[in-house]
Amino acid sequence: MSFGDRLAAQVADRESQIVLGLDPDPARLWPDAAGAVPASGSPAQLAAAAVAAHCAALIDAAGPACVATKPQLACFERLGAPGWAALQDTVAHARERGLLVVLDGKRGDIDVSAAAYAQALLGVTPTPFGDVEGLRGDAATVNPLLGRDSLAPFVEAARAHDAGLFVLVRTSNPGAADVQDLPVGDATVHERLAAIVGELGATGTSGIADVGAVAGATAPEHLARLRELMPAAPFLLPGIGAQGGRVEDLVAAFAPGRAGGLVSASRSIAKAHETHGGRPAEAARAEAERLRAAAWALS
C-alpha cells in the first residue's frame, strides 16, 4: 500500500488531518517531564530523558486528535547520541499510539549522501555486522535546492518502504520570499519546485500521491496555484497558530481529498496552557481537538 493510500486511510480512520509537531526545548518542557529523569547521568543523558518523557506525554495528550507526529530532528540532535536515542524512543511511542511519523529534518544532498540520509530516516543500512535499522519514518521532509538527482535516492527509498516525502516548496517564514519567490520567466522558483514535485509523485487508488509538498499556511494566497501544479500531492501546512496562519485559509489544499491537507501545529498545542490556562496535557488535548474539528469541517 503506497504512502498516499496509507495516509488517506489513516486520515479517514482517525478523522483528523492534524500533525503534532514535536520541537522540544529542554529548558521549556512540561513540568512533569523534567521530573521523569534518571537519578544520575551526563547533562545530555538527563536532558534527553526529559525530552523523551515530554514528547511521550504530549503524544498521549494530543495524539488522539491527530493523524501524525512530526519530530523536529534539530531538537534531538543537539543532545548528541542520547538525543538520537530519545528520537528513536519518541518515534516508537508515536507508532504505538497509532500515529504516522513525519521526520522533519529537511535533508538534501547528492547521490550517495542522499541515499545515506534515506537509509537513516526511512530505510535500513546493510553492514558486515548485520542490517542497521534506521528511524523508519512514514515520511520525511526534504530540501530540493540540489535538484532532481538529489531527490531521486529519497524517492527510491521511500517507495521501497511504502513511505512518503514532503518536499519544501513554499515555506512559512518571511525569508521564504528571498529565494522561493524569485521570478523565473512567468513563474517563480516555488512554482518550478512544485512542478518537480508534481512529476515525482505516484498516485494509488486514493488519489493522494506519495510525494507531497511543504506549503506554509502563512502564505495561503499561493495554495490554489500550488494545487494546480501538484493536483495529487498531500500538502504539509506548517505555520498555523504561533506563526499566524489560519485553518480557514487552507481550503484549496483539500481538493484531492481530506488527506490533501495536513495541518501541522507545534507550539500552539504544546504551549496551549500558557494561552488558555489549565494543565498542559488538558490544554494541549483541547487545542488539538479544536484544530481537528476546524480542519475536518472545512475539508
Residues 36-95 that bind a copy of itself (CB under 8 A): 37, 43-44, 46-47, 50, 72, 74-75, 77-85, 88
For a copy of itself, which residue of 134, 164, 260, 261 counts as binding (CB under 8 A)? 134
The number of residues that bind a copy of itself (CB under 8 A) is 76
Q: Which is nearer to a copy of itself, 119 or 268 (CB)?
A: 119
Quick note: the x/- pattern for a copy of itself over 192-231, rule CB under 8 A, is xx--x-----------------------------------
Binding to a copy of itself by residue 294, rule CB under 8 A? no
Binding to a copy of itself by residue 137, rule CB under 8 A? no
Cβ count within 10 A of residue 27: 7
Set 95, 97, 106, 159: catalytic member = 106
Binding to a copy of itself by residue 9, rule CB under 8 A? no
Binding to a copy of itself by residue 31, rule CB under 8 A? no
CB of 288 to a copy of itself, least distance (A): 20
C-alpha cell of residue 262: 495536513
106 among known catalytic residues: yes
Binding to a copy of itself by residue 111, rule CB under 8 A? yes
CB of 95 to a copy of itself, least distance (A): 16
Q: Are strands 187-188 and 211-215 parallel, antiparallel or unpaired?
A: unpaired
Binding to a copy of itself by residue 245, rule CB under 8 A? no
Q: Which is nearer to a copy of itself, 17 or 266 (CB)?
A: 266
Rounded Cα distance between 284 and 184, Å, is 42
Give CA separation, 174 vs 61, 115, 188, 264, in Å: 31, 31, 16, 18
Binding to a copy of itself by residue 240, rule CB under 8 A? no
Binding to a copy of itself by residue 10, rule CB under 8 A? no
For a copy of itself, which residue of 31, 39, 129, 277 counts as binding (CB under 8 A)? 129
Quick note: the x/- pattern for a copy of itself over 145-184, rule CB under 8 A, is xxxxxxx----------------x--xxxxxxxxxx-xxx
Binding to a copy of itself by residue 102, rule CB under 8 A? no
Binding to a copy of itself by residue 98, rule CB under 8 A? no
Catalytic site residues?
A: 106
